[in-house]
């Protein structure tokens, strides 16, 4: 209601002022003109008609609003004039509505201009009519400007760049010298892999420290975090893509640190048995007793049960023999133990044993066992000689070793059995078999792969082999 009254009042004032200007512009009226005017004067009794205001005419703003709009326009225009990318933008403000015109080179500048205009306190709406320039020269001008600034900045920081390069070079040189240095006594590990791992870790630490100092000198220390983050993501992606290979390398590192076996140790992993040729970062190479190479993944060795026959120099052998059911078992045990003690390579401590393990239809099964030193004698050769000696002593003592048989009784004169002479004892060889070891050493000399096993493991002292004063063939 107030707005309608105000509009009517302003219209009457405008009409009155227009009429006054018309009367002031006319010449003084004559008598005839007065008569004519009286004749043509309208009837004052007729009703007055209100003036019509065009529909597209905006509502006038108050003087205070106009002052605020002008101040806003002035502040925005001054701000745009001082920003190179917005210097060609013009500002118009009417009733809190900001209209932006002009041309910019980058789309980001157009968005930034709208944000700056909207951030003003008295702005109600932003009409962004800024266009983007398609001129090639204007598009390339910011690029050339940035290149020029980069060149000037590089030239200005050239002395610092030289100092940074010197710092990195010194760090690399110090790391290389440290990698070649054997270090103090506490770093001189007997494990070559562990010693090399410590040296490489110290070398990498020095190089990284040099790079951090150089980047901090150039004001680019924030680049270190980005590089470390990128390297971490790349490592994660590579680890997922090459899971099996990474698992083998990790298992190889753990095996090199723990050293569950050494060179030439005879081990068994699952169904594979042989002597260790070398341990590489990815696999372990065995040579079977037949002379064949077997490459086992380190992850498989790390997960599977491992039997090391060589780590303990003492090893027990065992075999069985059948004794007649009518023979004296106590005497058979004594004869068997004496035969084992007389065998070359069998140890006196721990002592050999003979035990009754089973009772059959025609035989009594006895188990004979003894110990040997693997560093001085060969397991298979000592076991073979022990079997021969036990058989010979049992036969010489009159003990029978029958095979499965049926008893048939015949009533006839007894037949005298011929006397059997003991066979002559041939010289036995129970020394360590070096044939496979020589092949392994030849293979190591030909190979170009790094060996992560400790090559300085001392062999433990071996117990004394039981050797009787008399002949080994005598009971």
Q: What's the mean pLDDT when you consider all of the chain? A: 76
**For residue 433, what are the contacts with CB-CB under 8 A and spacing of at least 6?**
378, 380, 381
Alpha-carbon gap, residue 89 to 106, rounded angstroms: 13
The whole-angstrom distance between residue 279's C-alpha and the CA centroid of its chain comes to 22
- For the record, the structure tokens of 373 come out as 């030193």
Which candidate, 460, 258, 306, places its Cα nearest to that of 374?
460
**What is the H or E stretch that residue 213 is in?**
helix 192-217
Q: How confident is the model at residue 3 (pLDDT cuts 50, 70, 90)?
A: very low
Rounded to a whole number, what is the distance in angstroms from the first to the last CA of the chain? 140
Identify whether the C-beta of residue 399 lies closer than 8 Å to the C-beta of residue 364.
no
In sequence order, what E strands does 33-118 have?
A: 89-94, 97-104
274: closest CA among 283, 264, 262?
264
CB atoms within 10 A of CB 397: 17
Instruction: Provide the 10 A C-beta neighbour count for residue 333.
Output: 17
Top-confidence residue, 249 or 133: 249
Torsion sign, CA atoms 201, 202, 203, 206: positive
Beta carbons of 403 and 325 less than 8 angstroms apart: no
Instruction: Kindly list the distances between the CA atom of residue 445 and the CA atoms of 262, 341, 450, in Å, as whole numbers in the listed order.
Output: 17, 41, 11
Helix axes 192-217, 243-258, angle to 10 degrees: 120
Model confidence, pTM:
0.48
Q: From CA 150, how far away is CA 158, in angstroms rounded?
A: 12
Q: What percent of the chain has pLDDT over 70?
A: 71
Higher pLDDT, residue 337 or 415: 337
Among 167-181, 236-250, 404-418, 449-463, the least confident range: 449-463
Q: Which CATH code for domain 314-403+427-433?
A: 3.30.70.100
3.40.190.10, 3.90.1300.10, 3.30.1340.30, 3.30.70.360: which CATH number matches 63-132?
A: 3.30.1340.30
**Higher pLDDT pick, 241 / 295:** 295
Each residue's pLDDT tens digit, 30-81: 444 443 344 334 444 444 444 555 556 777 878 888 888 888 889 889 988 8
Which positions ≥6 away from 3 have C-beta within 8 Å? none
Pairing of strands 125-128, 97-104: parallel
pLDDT band at 442; cut points 50, 70, 90: confident
CA-closest candidate to residue 247, choices 295, 199, 298, 286: 298
* Per-residue pLDDT reduced to its tens digit, 333-376: 999 999 999 999 999 988 999 999 998 878 899 999 999 998 88
Give the residue-averaged pLDDT of 433-439.
Answer: 67
pLDDT > 80? residue 406: no
For the chain, give every domain's residue range.
63-132, 158-240, 314-403+427-433
Residue with tokens 């005839």: 32
| CB distance 104 to 133 below 8 Å | yes
DSSP β-bridge partners for residue 369 = 318, 353
Q: Which residues of 88-104 are buried (b: 16+ CB within 10 A; e: fewer)?
A: bbebebeeeebbbebeb
Of residues 298 and 472, more confidently modeled? 298
Q: For 17-36, b where at least 16 C-beta lie within 10 A, e where not — what string?
A: eeeeeeeeeeeeeeeeeeee
3-state secondary structure of 250: helix
Are 313 and 377 in contact by the 8 Å Cβ rule? The answer is no
Both tokens of 73, joined, read 């326009």
């Amino acid at each position: 209601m107030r707005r309608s009254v105000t509009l009517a009042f302003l219209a009457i004032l405008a009409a009155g002022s227009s009429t006054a200007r018309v009367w002031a512009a006319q010449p003084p009226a004559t008598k005839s003109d007065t008569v004519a005017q009286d004749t043509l004067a309208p009837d004052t009794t007729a009703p007055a008609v209100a003036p019509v205001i065009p529909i597209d005419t905006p509502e006038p703003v108050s003087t205070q609003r106009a002052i605020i709009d002008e101040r806003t326009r002035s502040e925005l225009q001054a701000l745009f004039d001082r920003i190179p990318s917005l210097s060609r933008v013009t500002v118009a403000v009417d009733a809190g509505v900001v209209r932006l015109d002009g041309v910019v080179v980058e789309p980001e500048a157009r968005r930034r201009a709208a944000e700056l205009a909207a951030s003003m306190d008295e702005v109600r709406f932003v009409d962004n009519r800024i266009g983007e320039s398609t001129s090639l020269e204007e598009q390339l001008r910011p690029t050339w400007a940035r290149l020029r600034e980069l060149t000037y900045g590089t030239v200005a920081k050239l002395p610092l760049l030289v100092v940074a390069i010197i710092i990195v070079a010194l760090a690399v040189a110090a790391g290389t010298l440290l990698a070649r240095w054997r270090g103090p006594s506490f770093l001189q590990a007997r494990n070559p892999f562990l010693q090399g791992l410590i040296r490489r870790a110290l070398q990498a630490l020095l190089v990284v420290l040099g790079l951090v100092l150089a980047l901090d000198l150039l004001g680019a220390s924030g680049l270190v975090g980005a590089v470390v983050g990128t390297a971490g993501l790349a490592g994660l992606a590579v680890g997922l893509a090459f899971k099996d290979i990474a698992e083998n390398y990790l298992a190889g590192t753990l095996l090199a640190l723990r050293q569950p076996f050494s060179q030439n140790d005879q081990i068994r992993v699952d169904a594979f048995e042989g002597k260790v040729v070398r341990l590489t970062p990815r696999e372990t190479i065995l040579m079977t007793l037949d002379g064949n190479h077997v490459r086992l993944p380190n992850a498989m060795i790390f997960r599977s049960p491992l039997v090391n026959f060589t780590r303990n120099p003492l090893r027990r052998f065992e075999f069985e023999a059948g004794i007649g059911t009518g023979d004296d078992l106590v005497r058979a045990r004594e004869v068997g133990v004496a035969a084992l003690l007389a065998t070359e390579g069998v140890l006196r401590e721990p002592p050999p044993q003979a035990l009754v393990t089973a009772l059959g239809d025609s035989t009594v099964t006895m188990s004979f066992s003894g110990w040997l030193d693997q560093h001085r004698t060969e397991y298979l050769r000592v076991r073979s000689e022990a079997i021969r000696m036990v058989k010979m002593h049992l036969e010489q003592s009159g003990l029978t070793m029958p095979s499965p048989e049926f008893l048939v009784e015949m009533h006839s004169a007894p037949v005298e059995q011929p006397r059997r002479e003991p066979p002559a004892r041939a010289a036995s060889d129970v020394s360590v078999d070096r044939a496979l070891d020589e092949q392994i050493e030849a293979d190591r000399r030909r190979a170009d792969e790094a060996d992560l096993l400790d090559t300085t493991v001392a062999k433990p002292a071996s117990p004394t082999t039981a050797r009787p004063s008399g002949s080994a063939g005598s009971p």
